[in-house]
Structure 1
Amino acid sequence: MKLIRKILFPVVPIYYVVTWLRNKLYDLGIKKSVSYDFPVICVGNLSVGGTGKTPMIEYLINLLKDDFKVATLSRGYKRKTSGFQLAGGLSDADTLGDEPFQFYNKFKNDILVAVDSDRNNGIRNLRNLEGKPNVILLDDAFQHRKVKARFNILLTTYSSIYTDDMVLPTGNLREPKSGAKRADVIVVTKCPYNLEVNTQNEIIKKIKPENDQHVFFSHITYSNAVFSSNTSIELKTLPNFTLVTGIANAKPLVDFLATYNLNFNHLNYSDHHDFSQQDILELQKHELIITTEKDYMRLKKYDILRPKLYYLPITIGLNDTQVFNKLIKDVVTPI
């Protein structure tokens, strides 16, 4: 794959110009963006792969759900449905996609969860509901310029900051680095715990934020127990198990579990892996399976796996939490 990416380097300038021109047409108003008279908050990134959008959306849900009628709107990557879908009692990862189904599974009593590849259509459908939301969180929509969000949160990982990357196909960026100027907030995710201030300042210098942009740093916090639908097991008491992951980068999770000196083997699938029947039959041979919460959403529907299937929840912690929370609350609170 790396060799193919290098071979495709001559395509990089073409991809750069096409995506830059697209953004410029939106910036100049030649291509139209729709704005709304209620708060729409977008969470996204410049790069492909996992930057921590799901835990950031969950952080925002927890911050806002007690005071506002919140909805999440995602594309519904790899779902087996089309058009607008509102999560309900019959929903699963096939109808919504794994991340939206995770939101619904966790917050179904507090928020609305919807998917639509056309975000404007999704917003219209949500606002036409009898119990319409007054705050909509757009998941992975930074490049969806047809919607002009009131507030844009751009995520970039500590181990692969967008300033050190280039556009596809040789690099991982979906658009040129200049797209970061659209962000109101830039969050460097998956940082080491208690990242030193000097290191933070070095990263901020590298990012070179605009005068009106804020840069924050976040880290992943793993639970000290794994969970199934009706029970839990503390990590320190886990017997031998198989770790199953279908995420962009499983290394932080593997490293965390290693700190407990646990005995496990790791089955590492591609991001958003579509588990086949053969995969399920192979997994059924393992006595205990630990997986991510996202992968659990796809695997728990299989009866032969459910008794042995557990997930490890994660949350995020932010530096300057009060400042970040106030920025969000100021966006959604009427003046």
Structure 2
Amino acid sequence: MLKILLYPFSWLYGLVVFIRNNAYDLNLLKSREFGVPVISIGNITVGGTGKTPHVEYLVGLLKEKYRVATLSRGYKRSTKGFRWVETTSTALEVGDEPLQIKHKFADVTVSVCENRVDGVEQLLSTDDGIVPDVVLLDDAFQHRRITPGINILLIDYNRPVKDDHLLPLGRLRESTHQMRRANIIIFTKCPDEVTPIMRRVLQNDVGLLPYQSLYFTKLEYEKLVPVFGGKRLGKSLYEERKYALLVVTGIAAPQPMLNYLGRFSGQVESLSFSDHHNYSHDDIQKIEARFASMDAEKKIIVTTEKDAMRLKDSGYLSEDLKAVWYYLPVKVSFLEEEKKSFNKKILNYVGENKSNRELHKRKNSGQS
């Protein structure tokens, strides 16, 4: 019954998105190109596809050779306009994901702006004259006011888009036909192995075009890190299974994390909140009560790296609770030998376009 009620709204939403996309395709709405390599990373669905770990992968790949800048909208921040993200910023000021990137890569330029065109213009007109060699646009597949040099589309391997529907009936932000705008499509959160048959099925599902490249990545969890700078657990958690875990998450899809942690503990309890949830005093009291009710000699609280960014500035946490709170870092890795191919494609694009930009600048300077 609910689906029947949602169909008209889904149809209307699809009509608006269709008109907007066609306006860009017909050049009725203008899309801006910049004289700097721009890479967009985004998805076609609502919910987590692992954008931030993939942005972090690109930052790690590029930062040794190029000046890298990331630009996000800063989802759920309390501020407006362009802002530089510093390690001293708060999640409320700049958003949890940009702050996470800055904490991981302190020497990289991280910024937020809800208007991506204004944001890139700010990055290219800094007071010190030092501009980035490449700009990474986070969650920008639908932001068509900028034409990126490489458009990377992420799709959750476990939530295929083939039979999905447009919002609010389904999870699609726009029609799957728009996947044609992607240069690179990555299936994320894959199992350790994807069979050749499944690869062909997924290739057919997305209607892979000749100019598109298809890759597969998986999530890899790292060692737990104290949220508030306490002592690391060492091997005791991973080898002895003596700790009971309360897993507190404010992300779209917590189940993979719960499955992973279940390998190291016979007692895993969870409290799940909405994606990007800001923890209130009542939330903290609920967590504290749940943790106190757990009957175990050794127990800790585990959260995501993104949640840790929001919790760091909470004024509601007792010192006792801070001492047992850890976050689980995550990174992406490519399946089989795909990493080399992907890295080469990205590095070649940035290197060639950076060279073209510098040549253009030298020519203009010689004419003046």
Q: Same fold (TM over 0.5)?
A: yes
What residue is the counterpart of 1:327 in the other structure? Answer: 345
Q: What is the distance in 1 between the residues matched to 2:300 and 2:263?
A: 19
**Residue 296 (1) aligns with residue 308 (2):** yes
Paired residues of 1:245 and 1:292 also in contact (CA < 8 A): yes
Structure 2: runs of 5 or more not aligned: 292-298, 356-368
What residue is the counterpart of 2:85 in the other structure? Answer: 87
Q: What is the distance in 1 between the residues matched to 2:244 and 2:2?
A: 38
What residue is the counterpart of 2:32 in the other structure? Answer: 34
How many residues were matched structurally? 332
Q: Letter of the 1:184 partner, please give it.
A: N
259, 265, 268: which one pairs with 1:264? 268
What residue is the counterpart of 1:126 in the other structure? Answer: 123
RMSD: 1.6
299, 315, 331: which one pairs with 1:315? 331
What residue is the counterpart of 1:117 in the other structure? Answer: 114
Q: CA deviation at 1:153?
A: 0.2
Q: What is the distance in 2 between the residues matched to 1:183 and 1:253?
A: 29
Q: Letter of the 2:339 partner, please give it.
A: T
Paired residues of 2:87 and 2:103 also in contact (CA < 8 A): no
Kindly tell me: are residues 195 and 226 of structure 1, through their superposed partners in 2, closer, same or farther at Cα, counting changes over 3 Å?
farther
* 1:12-40: CA deviation from partner (whole Å, max 9, x where unpaired): 22211210111011011110010011111
Q: Letter of the 2:160 partner, please give it.
A: I
Q: CA deviation at 1:80?
A: 1.0
Paired residues of 1:300 and 1:309 also in contact (CA < 8 A): no
Q: CA deviation at 1:5?
A: 5.0
* 1:251-304: CA deviation from partner (whole Å, max 9, x where unpaired): 111111112244221001111112112112333443621001111111122352
Paired residues of 1:191 and 1:217 also in contact (CA < 8 A): yes
Q: CA deviation at 1:89?
A: 4.5
Q: CA deviation at 1:88?
A: 2.1
Deviates most, 129-138 or 46-55: 129-138
Q: What is the distance in 2 between the residues matched to 1:164 and 1:318?
A: 26
Q: CA deviation at 1:206?
A: 1.5
Q: What is the distance in 2 between the residues matched to 1:330 and 1:124?
A: 24
What residue is the counterpart of 2:360 in the other structure? Answer: none
Normalising to structure 2: TM-score of the pair? Answer: 0.86
Query: Aligned to 2:248, what secondary structure does the other structure show?
Result: strand
* 1:95-146: CA deviation from partner (whole Å, max 9, x where unpaired): 110100100111112x111000000111111111223211110000110011
48, 56, 59: which one pairs with 2:57? 59
Paired residues of 1:74 and 1:116 also in contact (CA < 8 A): yes
Deviates most, 231-240 or 139-148: 231-240
**Residue 252 (1) aligns with residue 256 (2):** yes
Moved over 6 A (4+): none
Query: Aligned to 1:270, what secondary structure does the other structure show?
Result: coil
Kindly tell me: are residues 24 and 217 of structure 1, through their superposed partners in 2, closer, same or farther at Cα, counting changes over 3 Å?
same
Paired residues of 1:220 and 1:316 also in contact (CA < 8 A): yes
Q: CA deviation at 1:240?
A: 1.4
Q: Letter of the 2:326 partner, please give it.
A: Y
* 1:21-80: CA deviation from partner (whole Å, max 9, x where unpaired): 110110111100100111110000100010110110000011001001001100100011
What residue is the counterpart of 1:162 in the other structure? Answer: 161
Normalising to structure 1: TM-score of the pair? Answer: 0.95
Paired residues of 1:85 and 1:115 also in contact (CA < 8 A): yes
Q: Letter of the 2:82 partner, please give it.
A: F
Query: Aligned to 2:88, what secondary structure does the other structure show?
Result: coil
Deviates most, 240-249 or 82-91: 82-91
41, 44, 53: which one pairs with 1:43? 41
Q: What is the distance in 2 between the residues matched to 1:227 and 1:220?
A: 20
Q: CA deviation at 1:226?
A: 4.1
Paired residues of 2:164 and 2:171 also in contact (CA < 8 A): yes
Structure 1: runs of 5 or more not aligned: none
Q: Please show how residues 147-186 of structure 1 align to structure 2 within 5 Å.
A: 147-186=146-185
Q: CA deviation at 1:196?
A: 1.8
Q: Letter of the 1:13 partner, please give it.
A: W
What residue is the counterpart of 2:105 in the other structure? Answer: 107
What residue is the counterpart of 1:232 in the other structure? Answer: 232
